[in-house]
Structure 1
Amino acid sequence: MASFEATKPYTKPPAWATDQRRLFDVTRDAVDSFTDRYLDDEGRPLWPPDGHVGIDGSDDLVEGFYNWPLVYAMGGDRLFLDAATETYRAVIDSLSEVETPYGHPMYVDEFDQGRDWFHLGEGNLYTYNMGLADPTDDAVVDRAERFAGLYFDDSETGNYDAEKRLVRSPQTGSMGPDYADFSEYVSHGYGADYRWWRHGLPWRDIPEFDEAADLHDPENEERLFEVLNERCTKGDIPLNLNVTSLMTNAYLHTGDDRYREWVFDYLDAWRERTAENGGIIPDNVGRSGEIGEYTNGKWYGGYYGWSWGGWHYVGIGPTVAAENAVLLDGTREHLDFPRSQLDHLMERGIEVSADAVNDTLYIPHKFGEPGNYHYNASGVLKENDGEIRYEDGWFEFRPHKDDPYAVHLWYMSMRDDDRQRVRDLRNHHKQDWRRVDPRAKTKHADGHEYAWLSYLDGEFPDYPKRIMEANHAHVRDRTKLMREEGYCPDEIDEDYLRNRNPVSEKGLLQLTMGAPQPIYYGGLVMAQVRHFDLGRGRPGLPDGVAALVEEVTTDGIVLTLVNVGGQDREMLVQAGAYGEHEFTTVSTDGRERAAESNRIRVTLPGGTSLSLEAGMDRFVNDPTYDLPTELVR
């Protein structure tokens, strides 16, 4: 292992470095107040209320603290890990006592009894982050194996059919696929008055439904749930590709090849179905393996599919699964799967002038049969009469939104054409890429990937300082809310923790690990580097040390480390979040040294900084959560 020592003192530390270290501290204090005020005396969440019977909400509770272990893994205080572990245990205990309409609890054997992998993906982000934070915790490893085991053919759940290589329902979990029943959603607030209609009308062959508004007509409620049960409770959908993260997580803990082979087998099955369907991924496959088995032979019209949720939901699974497959065997060819879907949409795109210089490509996000497509959809191309534009079955032409699929495609491949694809999808009607929104409106604070890419391209040098300012603003806003409401919310629902979570990890991921945010609905962290504190024998940056990945290129990275504290620190820098990359050479002060390892050792005396230019071979090592042997004492 190559070793490097900083010898360059600084007069004043850079603003991004002091802001980064302060962010760890102020966020820790906010989490301390959060757990003290928003959990009961036993540490349990304040929702659900006594006597609650429901289906939804487990993922929302976990989203209130899912990112705390990740901040610990990047260098945050031990409080982040301990508080997350205790709160998760309390959520498990609480939801294991909350009944569903199906005669069993919401959590069975510590896992959600049955939901779709949009929501299960969100709830399991905590599980994956714990692998980075504390892979030596036996409970963490046990859950990883048990959760993945729910989707093997020998599981009593019946979630998976290994012979046909399909997940047997859009809604699965610890109780299997056979409890999926949309009629039970009525008592949980998902009746006809729910927002089923906001995505438009997904079917054109049901006489009772002529337009989207019919979906929230109480007189149509019974028929609505009949159709949902007929078409959306059995068989496979693209969102189920998120199960590959559950398998990859188990592999990173154990190295057991059966988890890896599951990922490849299932991904290959979906690629074969896509080829059978002329290159477009079908959104529903029956339990027989037949495309369109429950939708009268149509490849569209499934749950969260092309006619309903559109590309925003369909694109999740192929991107997540391809990422996981690349991580597991290093073969970039897996990325052809999500790349081909983006290309199909872009080929059908329509350029719209945004200003005197730039056009924005509007790509179709949905597919369906001809009909009345009048519904509330802002930012889409419409005809003169207000009807949503429809061409050869494709409709809802809009910019690529803030979905990170194209960014992740480039990040995994490092190909120039994938980077150009990101530029070609740029929405010139929206904010300048050289700007950071200090108060991002969505729960996953999306959109900052593009400002970060501008920084990596040398077009936005102030980005590190700006994203740190935005993360500080997030903590201040949440702390202010807690203070103003007296730490007692007026309304307590399943979102109350998530809406008050003071932790924002996106800027720390980008700056310290050179990583985009994981795909929020179930992706794993994919990173250039991660750090380990030799002094404390734990993951993350040493106390007082800040990190900035300044460049990410095909050949490698440029990393600057700054010790803003007064004490000497020793650390390891690892190539990849899971040691999957390999350092080839490392240059500092104009001198190049061979590295030929997936880790380097760095000594940082107080008040010094060190810049490293590291060559990298990516995805050449077997990935693992295992901690470096230097940390194990």
Structure 2
Amino acid sequence: MTKISPDIPVLEGGRTAPMPRWALLQRQVFSTLDQASIEFADRYTRPDGTLIWRDNWPGMDGSDDPYEGFMYMPLFYALGGSEEVYRRAQVIYDGITWQWTEYGQIHREFDAYYDWMHHGESSLFLYFLGLASPAGLKDRQRTKRFAGFYNGEDPDVQNYDAQLRLMRAPISGSRGPRFSHSGEDWSTHREILDRFPPPFEDLPGIDPYGRVCPWSDDATYELILKQMNARQAKGDVPLNLGATSLMAHAFMYDGEDRHRQWTVDYLDAWVERTEQNGGITPDNIGLSGQIGEYNDGKWWGGYYGWRWPHGAFSILDPITIAGLNGLLMTGDERHLDLARSQLDMLWSLRRDEDGQAVVPNRHFDEGWRDYRVVHPVYAVTLWNASMSDDDAERAERAWPNGQFEAIDTRYAGYGKTIGGHMAFNGNTAQWFRFIRGGDAAYPETLLASNLETIVQQIERFRSDAFDPLTMDHEAHPMGIHMWQQISPMVMEGLIQLTTGGPAHMGRGGLQLSRFRYFDAEKQRPGLPQDVAALVDHLEADVAGVTLVNTSATTARELIVQAGAFGEHSFTTVAVDGEAEQSISGRWVAVKLAPGAVTRLEFGMQRYANKPSYDTPWVRAVDAMPAIKGREL
């Protein structure tokens, strides 16, 4: 082992072996997505990044959806996609932001007002731009401004009550809290909400336990808005915990403790509310801090709460995301306890249906209803961060019979909140089985499946039915969700197998992982050309990865990082089963000879470093400071 600098040791990978099929498939995925992502962008966007779409879009809903359709471009670049993909991603982000500003949904480059499920979804594009480069001035400046909307630094946008540690409304944004919803706000969402349960139990003539509610009926719509403004428009809801990802994102740029402290303070407030409510996280808090203040004292029935529209998912998503952010920024695992407590609470309410344990998904005035199979995605995500046996047991204790034994090949459609590719964390349970020692064929099978799905998506967006120049954008059944539905960016195989972690939580979670890579020659993020990686072993203080140079003629050099944000530190390494060597730091360089197949078993100290967007060449805090405008 030699050193190329005082800080980064260099490992030599020269052992040749039969080329693993998974490595060839992985490089084929990279090559296919490099081409498909640009073709997709060419077909649906103009040279300035705006989308070829309709000339007006009313209501508050929808700006998240175009961002979601293209958000994986910067993440793909960060994993090893081409420079052109990153360049186009920047142009498209700017184009969407301008276009939806003109439509009226975006103000000061952020949603004027909406909830944090949708803010979280649209912000993923911004978060992935941070992984692509710590030096992007526009991305940094936007992040600072957006964080100011929620941490009290912007005097004109007071979404947060620092004294009571609460968000002032479920609907918020760059124009501040939205205390009253208009008919126009929900106008484009009415037909979609027709297919959801009613938001209130006392709507005349509507089954409170039914699966439909006629938002499209004007009289019903008027009554829903009246009750929503009275019961759900003011105060805090768990969904707002999604804002902790924005603070963590800002922290990764500047390392300022105020972002970390805000996250800890706000998450702790929800822990205290849960304790006050007997161990169940309440879904509505009034502006005074009182549980159920506008809801007759009930802890259920809030906006995106235990009853409407999705039930438990709308609680578990944000508290899991916030817990992960708290752990990432502090290294303190206690921040996962709120999410664990709610998983355990629901499990304590389980019952048996045909030999399968099911747990309640919704709470009504009469009690818990809508029992469902437990999806392991939340516990798997917690386990990936904690490596705790207890979290592994949470994932395994209610494993649905046969449901996650095979890879899910579907490109799930809009409305699939868990599983499938549209939720951005498809095959998470299947990956968990693999990384825990099961299904050795998983990498090959998953990558082959991803390739098949990518080809299907390419055929779909190339079809005449989805020609943006001829299709009827006003009448098309998918409308605002079109770009998500036909995107070719099927990414879970690249994310899981190269980085050693499941794909991010789809409603605004950061992309956490055990490893990240940089091209040492080009000094950019991602695996170098021809190089494939497979993480196949994870423990609390150990992680194993196989690196393959698929080129028979050209040597490659990469830098391996401990943690997606450099939050971990290497302690030891064993190369190809040889004697363990002591190392230290967050980076290790690896030189791969042509055709090399090299296995590295790393010892690690997790959460040893302050997380950041630093690269081996650029410190995020040293990048150009934000531009300061005139004071007029």
TM-score normalized by the length of structure 1: 0.90
d(CA) in 2 for partners of 1:495, 1:438? 17
Mark the CA change 1:299 to 1:432 in structure 2 (over 3 Å): closer, same or farther. Answer: closer
Query: Counterpart in 1 of 2:522?
Result: 536
1:573 to 535, 555, 560: 560
1:523 to 509, 521, 524: 509
Query: Counterpart in 2 of 1:363?
Result: 359
Partner SS for 2:599: strand
1:203 aligns with 2:177: no
Offset, 1:473: 1.5
Query: Counterpart in 2 of 1:32?
Result: 38
Query: Counterpart in 1 of 2:382?
Result: 409
d(CA) in 2 for partners of 1:235, 1:470? 45
d(CA) in 2 for partners of 1:73, 1:317? 25
Paired residue total: 593
Which deviations, in whole Å up to 9, do the C-alpha atoms of 1:287-310 show, x marking residues without a partner? Answer: 111110110111000011112221
d(CA) in 2 for partners of 1:223, 1:36? 44
* Contact 2:113 2:178 (C-alpha < 8 Å) held by counterparts: no
Offset, 1:536: 0.3
Query: Counterpart in 2 of 1:234?
Result: 234
Matches for 1:127-526 after TM superposition, within 5 Å: 127-155=126-154, 156-178=156-178, 180-185=180-185, 187-190=187-190, 194-196=192-194, 198=196, 200-205=197-202, 209-211=206-208, 212=210, 215-216=214-215, 217-308=217-308, 309-353=310-354, 359-370=355-366, 393-401=367-375, 404-428=377-401, 430-437=402-409, 439-441=411-413, 442=420, 443-444=422-423, 446-485=425-464, 488-489=467-468, 490-492=471-473, 493-526=479-512
TM-score normalized by the length of structure 2: 0.90
Query: Counterpart in 2 of 1:385?
Result: none
What amino acid maps onto 2:407 in structure 1? R
Matches for 1:547-558 after TM superposition, within 5 Å: 547-558=533-544
1:93 to 94, 98, 110: 98
Partner SS for 1:259: helix
* Contact 1:183 1:226 (C-alpha < 8 Å) held by counterparts: no
Which deviations, in whole Å up to 9, do the C-alpha atoms of 1:215-272 show, x marking residues without a partner? Answer: 5454322111101111121110001000000000000000111111100110111111
Offset, 1:154: 3.7
Partner SS for 2:151: coil
Offset, 1:446: 4.1
Which deviations, in whole Å up to 9, do the C-alpha atoms of 1:63-90 show, x marking residues without a partner? Answer: 1111111111011111221111111111
Which deviations, in whole Å up to 9, do the C-alpha atoms of 1:96-123 show, x marking residues without a partner? Answer: 111xxxxxx2111111111111111100
Mark the CA change 1:111 to 1:571 in structure 2 (over 3 Å): closer, same or farther. Answer: same
Offset, 1:18: 0.8
Flag structure 1 segments of 5+ consecutive residues without an equivalent. 99-104, 354-358, 371-392
Instruction: Name which of structure 1's ranges 251-260 and 211-220 shifts more when overlaid on structure 2.
Output: 211-220
What amino acid maps onto 1:307 in structure 2? R
Query: Counterpart in 1 of 2:5?
Result: none
1:116 aligns with 2:111: no
Query: Counterpart in 2 of 1:582?
Result: 569
Offset, 1:612: 0.7
d(CA) in 2 for partners of 1:612, 1:125? 31
Which deviations, in whole Å up to 9, do the C-alpha atoms of 1:104-144 show, x marking residues without a partner? Answer: x2111111111111111100001111111111111111111
Query: Counterpart in 2 of 1:19?
Result: 25
Mark the CA change 1:236 to 1:21 in structure 2 (over 3 Å): closer, same or farther. Answer: same
Offset, 1:458: 2.3
d(CA) in 2 for partners of 1:132, 1:97? 28
Offset, 1:189: 4.7
Query: Counterpart in 1 of 2:614?
Result: 626
Mark the CA change 1:124 to 1:71 in structure 2 (over 3 Å): closer, same or farther. Answer: same
CA RMSD between the two structures: 2.0
What amino acid maps onto 2:55 in structure 1? D
* Contact 1:320 1:519 (C-alpha < 8 Å) held by counterparts: yes
Partner SS for 1:591: coil
Offset, 1:500: 1.9
d(CA) in 2 for partners of 1:590, 1:497? 49
Query: Counterpart in 1 of 2:10?
Result: 3
Partner SS for 1:558: strand
Mark the CA change 1:369 to 1:197 in structure 2 (over 3 Å): closer, same or farther. Answer: farther
* Contact 1:182 1:228 (C-alpha < 8 Å) held by counterparts: no
Mark the CA change 1:550 to 1:307 in structure 2 (over 3 Å): closer, same or farther. Answer: same
Which deviations, in whole Å up to 9, do the C-alpha atoms of 1:307-360 show, x marking residues without a partner? Answer: 22211111111101110000001011111110011000001101334xxxxx43
Which deviations, in whole Å up to 9, do the C-alpha atoms of 1:525-570 show, x marking residues without a partner? Answer: 1100101111000011111100000111123111000000121111
Offset, 1:600: 1.1
* Contact 1:171 1:180 (C-alpha < 8 Å) held by counterparts: no
1:107 aligns with 2:106: yes
Which deviations, in whole Å up to 9, do the C-alpha atoms of 1:140-165 show, x marking residues without a partner? Answer: 11111111111022421111111111
* Contact 2:312 2:361 (C-alpha < 8 Å) held by counterparts: yes
d(CA) in 2 for partners of 1:330, 1:581? 10
Matches for 1:62-101 after TM superposition, within 5 Å: 62-98=67-103
* Contact 1:114 1:180 (C-alpha < 8 Å) held by counterparts: no
d(CA) in 1 for partners of 2:162, 2:201? 33
Mark the CA change 1:245 to 1:562 in structure 2 (over 3 Å): closer, same or farther. Answer: same
Query: Counterpart in 2 of 1:384?
Result: none
* Contact 2:58 2:184 (C-alpha < 8 Å) held by counterparts: no
* Contact 1:406 1:418 (C-alpha < 8 Å) held by counterparts: yes
* Contact 1:260 1:328 (C-alpha < 8 Å) held by counterparts: yes
d(CA) in 1 for partners of 2:463, 2:204? 51
d(CA) in 2 for partners of 1:186, 1:512? 41
Flag structure 2 segments of 5+ consecutive residues without an equivalent. 1-7, 414-419, 474-478, 624-632
* Contact 1:201 1:307 (C-alpha < 8 Å) held by counterparts: no
What amino acid maps onto 2:563 in structure 1? G
Offset, 1:399: 0.5
d(CA) in 1 for partners of 2:201, 2:465? 50
Query: Counterpart in 2 of 1:376?
Result: none
* Contact 2:49 2:94 (C-alpha < 8 Å) held by counterparts: no
Partner SS for 1:426: coil
Partner SS for 2:560: strand
d(CA) in 2 for partners of 1:50, 1:549? 46
